[in-house]
Amino acid sequence: MRAAAYARVSTNNHHQDPEVQLRDIRAFCQYKGWEIVETYIDKGVSGAKASRPALNRMMTDAAEKKFDVVIVWKFDRFARSAQHMLKALEAFQASGIAFVSTTESIDTSTPTGKMVYTVLAAVAEMERAITVERIHAGLRNARAKGRKSGVKRQEIDLAAVRERIANGESVRGIAKTIGVSTALLALRLKESTPKVAQQLTQATNEDPSVGF
């Protein structure tokens, strides 16, 4: 079988060397009589990142069926979560590629190893449920404290805007230069200073070019 070896270390210092992982992978392949056709190494990359240079390249090569089996030292060197692991295994399965973790004695080409899909699917579903519940709990907590969920309120320096209006600039012109809509700027001015709102309305009625 054509094998792809994947290794990852989270730092570039001498305390972590991908060779520790690759040594075991090579020994495993030699025992099985498999040929390592490509080695993918992510060095100095956190396992929390689903997108990694070598991993991304390996997944692309897997889709092109450049090897028959992916071999890693441990699950946590490869996937950041059960959901991530399951997604990768599904991609491998679609391309007819097996997955092996040498230290955990898991080989998805065997009947026992295929149970991994079922277990991971259940764990991934649990992770999703926990994530959703955490989001809902956070929203409930925010509502209890009087905070509204949604898009973050855009900050506008209203003091500077009022000064520019006092110097004769129009709301439309100011809104364009600070990258907001005229309606939004006018609304913020009305909310912050009723007197300014009154002046804006009066000025607009007298001369439409002044307001918007």
Query: Catalytic residues, which ones?
Result: 10
Q: Provide the terminal-to-terminal Cα distance of the chain, rounded to the nearest Å.
A: 71
Tell me how crowded residue 12 is: count the other CB atoms within 10 A of its CB.
Answer: 10
> Would you list the DSSP string of 158-203?
HHHHHHHHHTT--HHHHHHHHTS-HHHHHHHHHHH-HHHHHHHHHH
Cβ atoms of 71 and 28 within 8 Å: the answer is: yes
